[in-house]
Chains A and B, each alone.
Chain A
Amino acid sequence: MTAFRLHHLLWLVPLLVVLVFLPSFTTTFITYLLSLICIYVIVALGINILTGYTGQMSVGHAGFLAIGAYTSARLITDLGAPFWVGMLVAGLASGIVGFLLGIPALRLSGAYLSTATLGFGLAVEQILQNMDSVSGGRAGLSVPKPSLAGFVLDDRSYFYFVLAVTIVMSLLALSILRSSVGRAFIALRDSEIAAQAMGISLARYKTLAFTMSAFYTGIAGALFASLVRFLAPENFNMWLSIDFLTMIVIGGLASVLGSVIGGIFMVTVPYVLGELQDLSFILMGAALLVVLLFMPGGISAFLSRLLDLVTGRTTAKDIEQHVAKPMGQLGRLPEQSQSANAPASGTDLLGVKES
């Protein structure tokens, strides 16, 4: 089984080039969108850790984004904290909340877990609406332009900052998920019972997944606050949580590349459709169904196979096979699904060779 192929990330090279040079040629609005894409990518990484890798569905991640955004905004406006300090504290605050939510969530799964997370997201929104001291009440909360080492960042420099954070967070996610931690996540997702039998602590890794996921989303929240520079609780509603979930499924579950693609998709499509909000709903829904029914592993897996084809590593027939097969276990990498029949596929994930 090839769990991961480096050359799949080749897709990111031209993307990066475009991202680095595009702001020089375009309007501030495009720059804004590019920053937003990066922020969504960080969120997607966060949710993917929880939902894609560990198999825990969250319908409340807008809550973590809100916690990150408001923590950072408050630190900056009230305490005059530097913007990057706000960001780190935001990540930590959100991570702590994620840890706390992870404890009752330990015993939950399926419908129960999704309800608990849904309730969490709604509660955060409602609490913010009622805590004028935090959210600024009706007037909302304005956030000053971010500044770094005494320099106020303009839109373009802020974008480069966000891009840098995104790259760091992506690499961090890659290295963690490729370590034994990531394999433990996947083992838990594929079978909690088998994973525990192999000595993987359910409590430790599930709460760790919640914490990491919340940390990522909290960081994204801080970046978001300084990008939009105006916060209102309604912006962190259930729909946003659903958008987040949608983007990782469309981009590709349990995949860093999938997170990147999902983030791009979720920002660009509604923007391109502009006023056509209903069409955007329909397209998103249809995209979800198409991916679930025909593209196991989302767009990223599809592109990877395409790249394999181009570089001659695989044949058209392989692709056909993959595309034709409706997705079975959600979140299972396409490479894994070939060995899905083998008992306890978790064993080789952990590097333990079956004799």
Chain B
Amino acid sequence: MLKLSDVETSYGKIKALKGVSMEVPERSIVALLGANGAGKTTVLRTISGVVHPLNGTIELWGKRIDRVPAERIVGMGVAHVPEGRHVFAGLSVLENLKMGAYGRKDKSNIKGDLDRVTDYFPILGKRRSQPAGTLSGGEQQMLAISRALMARPKLLLLDEPSLGIAPKVITEIFSIIRTINVEEKTTILLVEQNAFLALAIAHYGATCSKLETSCFQAQLRSSSRVTR
């Protein structure tokens, strides 16, 4: 569904990606692993259009998206949960979730989706009118994921959802990521430091490293689709 070919991205003079190629098959969970500074976040930012690649192409269902600005990518079915959560701290939980559905045309279904995401994370329902900034780190991560789900994405980009969160909550979040993949048929590209956790739920694993020019990708369990 998503295909990156020789993507090069830089911040000013700093080259962060030196030609990354990878594929994300539909309905799969792909775990993207790598050391600090390897460029994992940059891969996600390049996909979601926050930064644009210097060279290379990104295709979503065969359609080039590497020049589409971030605010239009979400309408194409890609939702990005950024590293560090980035919830709207001054807005209430409910308002954050509404922002997640900002670009949607089918306004009538939003109410139902609100109930659906709060079923995944009941705590958010209890905190709905509380400012997001007052939530705990784990709750904020849940909110960030739920907010992205409100866009009804086909592809969900998750950047280190375990960052700074207690092991017990991490387990909860990861099992729900799994559920989302199965029940909603959402494809997931997951960036993680914690390889053990990530590979436990992923169908494919890919590694990113500064030294290599591409992400090395391997199939883990499923044999339905093969990438290199």
Cα of A341 to Cα of B12 in the assembled complex, Å: 8
Cα of A247 to Cα of B13 in the assembled complex, Å: 34
Whether B166 sits at the interface, judged by CB under 8 Å, is no
Contacts of A341 in B (CB 8 A): 12-14
Contacts of B13 in A (CB 8 A): 341
Q: Which of A330-355 contact B (CB under 8 A)?
A: 341
Cα of A341 to Cα of B14 in the assembled complex, Å: 9
Contacts of B12 in A (CB 8 A): 341
Q: Name the residue of chain A whose CB is nearest to the CB of B12.
A: A341
Cα of A341 to Cα of B15 in the assembled complex, Å: 13
Per-residue contact bits, chain B 1-45, to A (CB 8 Å; 1 contact, 0 not): 000000000001110000000000000000000000000000000
Cα of A137 to Cα of B14 in the assembled complex, Å: 63
Per-residue contact bits, chain B 81-103, to A (CB 8 Å; 1 contact, 0 not): 00000000000000000000000
Q: How far apart are A332's CB and chain B's nearest CB, in angstroms? A: 15
Cα of A341 to Cα of B13 in the assembled complex, Å: 8
Q: How far apart are B59's CB and chain A's nearest CB, in angstroms? A: 31
Q: Name the residue of chain A whose CB is nearest to the CB of B13.
A: A341
Q: Name the residue of chain A whose CB is nearest to the CB of B14.
A: A341
Q: Name the residue of chain B whose CB is nearest to the CB of A342.
A: B13
Q: How far apart are B135's CB and chain A's nearest CB, in angstroms? A: 27
Q: Name the residue of chain B whose CB is nearest to the CB of A340.
A: B12
Q: How far apart are A326's CB and chain B's nearest CB, in angstroms? A: 15
Q: How far apart are A341's CB and chain B's nearest CB, in angstroms? A: 5
Q: How far apart are A224's CB and chain B's nearest CB, in angstroms? A: 46
Cα of A271 to Cα of B110 in the assembled complex, Å: 65
Q: How far apart are A336's CB and chain B's nearest CB, in angstroms? A: 15
Q: Which of A297-355 contact B (CB under 8 A)?
A: 341
Q: How far apart are B14's CB and chain A's nearest CB, in angstroms? A: 7
Q: How far apart are A340's CB and chain B's nearest CB, in angstroms? A: 9
Cα of A229 to Cα of B13 in the assembled complex, Å: 57
Question: Could you list 3 examples of A-B contacts with CB < 8 Å?
Answer: A341-B12, A341-B13, A341-B14
Taking Cβ atoms with an 8 Å cutoff, the residues of A that contact B are 341
Top 3 A-B pairs, shortest CB-CB distance: A341-B12, A341-B13, A341-B14
